[in-house]
């Protein structure tokens, strides 16, 4: 199952663009955080999305900066995922022509079926 995660930093920002992109990517459910900076460690929506992941599921985000606002934070986040359950990055093959997908991208992580890292 594809599980989406969307985040905006302020309450005034709108999640619609991210929601539509995640739905178009085939996400069955989308977890959200509103008014929470990417630099903040406590993100209940992200925690719920990660808790929902099972082997074979895929976490989809609109852009990498939804997971962390700096390269250091992103690497730290991915390292933590790997240590927590063998989660590995996967890149989806787009099902829509590039012209139709302009303006958004998706990034996925899936729990590995084994902890050997393969």
Q: Catalytic residue, from 9, 88, 105, 112: name it.
A: 9
Has 115 been annotated as catalytic? no
In the chain, which ranges are continuous DSSP H helix?
16-24, 44-52, 71-85, 98-101
3-state DSSP: the chain helix, strand, coil percent, rounded to 5?
35, 20, 45
Torsional sign, CA 18, 23, 25, 31: positive
Q: How far apart are CA 20 and CA 23, in angstroms?
A: 5
- Indicate which residues carry an active-site annotation: 9
């Amino acid at each position: 199952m594809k599980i989406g995660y969307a985040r905006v930093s302020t309450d005034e920002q709108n999640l619609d663009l991210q929601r539509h992109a995640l739905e178009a990517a085939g996400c069955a459910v989308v977890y959200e955080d509103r008014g929470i900076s990417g630099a903040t460690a406590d993100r209940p929506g992200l925690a719920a999305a990660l808790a929902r992941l099972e082997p074979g599921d895929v976490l989809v985000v609109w852009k990498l900066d939804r997971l962390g606002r700096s390269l250091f934070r992103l690497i730290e986040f991915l390292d933590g995922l790997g240590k927590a359950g063998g989660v590995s990055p996967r890149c989806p093959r787009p099902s829509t022509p590039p012209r139709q997908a302009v303006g958004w991208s998706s990034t996925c992580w899936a729990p590995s079926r084994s902890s050997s890292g393969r």
